[in-house]
Amino acid sequence: MKVSVAIPIYNAARHLNVTLDSLQKQTMDASEFEVICVNDCSTDNSIEVIEKYQKNMDNLILINRTENSGGPMIPRNNAIQAARGEYIMFLDNDDFLGEEALERLYDAARENRSDVIFGKYVGVNGRHVPESMFKKGNRLNSDILEDNLVYSLAPHKMFNLSFIRENGFEFHPQAVVGEDQLFVMQCYINAKVITVLADYEYYFVVARGNENLSLKYFPAEQFFYSFNRILEFLEESELNELYKRKLKVAFINRFLHASRLRGHLLSNLLTKEQKMDWLNETKCFFDKYVDEPIINSLASRFQYFVRVVKENNINKLLSIHKKIGKVTANDVTRVENGFIYAKLKEYNKECSFDEEHVVNQLNTSEVFVSDMLLGENSITIKGDFTQSLLINFEINYELIFVHRTSGLEKVHRSKEAASTGRFDFTIEYGEILFNPDLTGPWDLFVEASVGGYVKRRRIGSARSSKLTKPITVTDISSFGRNYSIKAYYTKPFNNISLDVKINK
């Protein structure tokens, strides 16, 4: 048996036809895979639907639980125990697979000896699905950090069954929130090979209704159960310490971005008493796993939140959250080590503070090219680079040429800093025409920096109305060769690039 497909079932009668139809249509021979439906005491006619399909699907197995488990965790564990395949694929009862999904995934898993393998997701009915891990194409031996896998922690993947059993991995029944993240992160951390396929539409994720757990309230202690276990498992793992640290940062960024935590603490979803309970549990979590170096490595938009949570003051947290959204350039006090700091103040009987917080996330920028000239010996580019929070700072500007094929960067620095936001570069052609292998397109960026804070922007899409046509200069002599350069506007983003050619 090649593959076991595990489907937890609860009141899924109206969805099951699409799910089971997709399994009937698989290009993998039906004798090579089994479908294990674990009915979690459904009160609709889910059993009747499955039994109807069993008449035409010899590989369809129905397991009827005698007690409702309250979630998909235990039914998935029942399927792991019953599975006979080399690999097990977890499928939700309202999702479906592409016709070649099982065959493609299994063949790639065997070829690469994958412990975990999954393919491109497709959202249905407006469902958002992770995409970043598929942008590099097929990754036969992917990396959790390099391929952004912490943003794909749903269990809709194929796992080597022996790998799961040997490690004793299961969906923890106490993990009513994030149980899939706990299982998948444990598998990621211990897996020798994780394979990601982007060459086919493998798994179709259907938008769900009000049964989604995100609409239900859970005590904070239950909420944090999975996330405590994840970081405990990471810290106890055999990964090297530097990788552990970077993975911890990546996971906490993901946790703060995607979980309901900030929504519960910062919105009106909870009473003040409930918020205080959640805040206390959150402080315990951060105190245990998030030290100051970790905070400094987090995305800037989360740093104030973590620091204030550690003070365990709900009034201060709500007040700073409100004020930080109204920060202007007048509030910025310094830029240091890559961080923009703003002074936040409040004085009242309930809560008073006078302190700085990182506000990088609030800084917006605009780039405008006012002029571009290609002369006999040099190219001149002028324009404006404005940043909403840094109008009172002296900014250093660099024009950066990026060779599209090799990725090589050639940096041209401005001679002096400017507080006006204006840049004016004149670059001799010899700065980029120094190697015959570096012909073809060069893309142009302007980079602004101050106090270690760097903002890079592609230039050209916003430009003077006089810059409408390509500009070509021929007969350029550099290092004994003759070149031509054409400045043109890319499609579809309409930015400026240079096309370099050697004249014959």
* Residues 181, 25: Cα–Cα separation, whole Å: 30
- Does 72 sit behind a cis peptide bond, omega within 30 degrees of 0 on the bond before it? no
Specify whether the CB–CB gap between 358 and 430 falls below 8 A.
no
Residue pair 271/219 in contact (Cβ under 8 Å)? The answer is: no
Smallest Cα–Cα separation from 192: which of 252, 140, 135? 140
Where helices occur in 156-267 by DSSP H, the ranges are: 161-167, 179-190, 220-236, 241-258, 261-266
DSSP bridge partners of 410: 401
The residue written with tokens 């890559």 in the block is 338
DSSP-derived secondary structure for 320-388: HHHHHTT--GGGEEEEETTEEEEEEEEESSS-EEEEEEE-GGG--EEEEEEEEEE-SSEEEEEEEEEET
Cα–Cα distance, 20 to 41 (Å, whole number): 19
* Catalytic-role residue among 92, 115, 147, 180: 180
Torsion sign, CA atoms 267, 271, 272, 277: negative
* Angle, alpha carbons 433-438-442 (nearest 5°): 85
Would you call 371 a catalytic residue per the annotation? no
Residues that are catalytic: 180
